[in-house]
Amino acid sequence: DTAVSQTPKYLVTQMGNDKSIKCEQNLGHDTMYWYKQDSKKFLKIMFSYNNKELIINETVPNRFSPKSPDKAHLNLHINSLELGDSAVYFCASSQVSGRARTGELFFGEGSRLTVL
């Protein structure tokens, strides 16, 4: 069973379009994250939710909107896509609170977004 799964794995779309990426974790973790990996492989946090509450919202254009319907799911919607949005987007989860907290993040396989 995949612990953190994201769909789709690949997205190719035109500038100006809207797209969504979905993420689900079956680890029972209380916190989920979106990271962006750019063309130089640098990883930067975008958002994080703890038990459906937004706890991290880095300096990201408001064309990006995360949604967490429950603590096992975190989706990312991007409006009016731009060329610079091309990147790999990683979902991750961790257990932040309680006796089961471990510290490490568990990552999905990534969603490669290409904007033409």
Partner 1 sequence: AQSVAQPEDQVNVAEGNPLTVKCTYSVSGNPYLFWYVQYPNRGLQFLLKYITGDNLVKGSYGFEAEFNKSQTSFHLKKPSALVSDSALYFCAVRDINGNTGKLIFGQGTTLQVKP
| Beta strand pairing call for 111-115 and 10-13 | parallel
Cβ–Cβ < 8 Å for 3, 27: yes
- Closer to partner 1 by Cβ: residue 80 or 101: 101
Q: Mask of contacts with partner 1, 5-24, x by CB under 8 A?
A: --------------------
Among 20, 51, 65, 110, binds partner 1 (CB under 8 A): 110
Phi-psi region of 72 (alpha: psi -120 to 50; beta: other; left: phi over 0): alpha
50 strand-pairing partners: 31, 53
Least distance between partner 1 and beta carbon 116 (Å)? 20
60 makes contact with partner 1 (CB under 8 A): no
Least distance between partner 1 and beta carbon 36 (Å)? 11
Query: Which has the closest alpha carbon to 4: 60, 73, 62, 69?
Result: 73
Report the interface residues with partner 1, using CB under 8 A: 4, 31, 33, 40-43, 45, 48, 50, 55-56, 90, 92, 94-97, 101, 103-110, 112
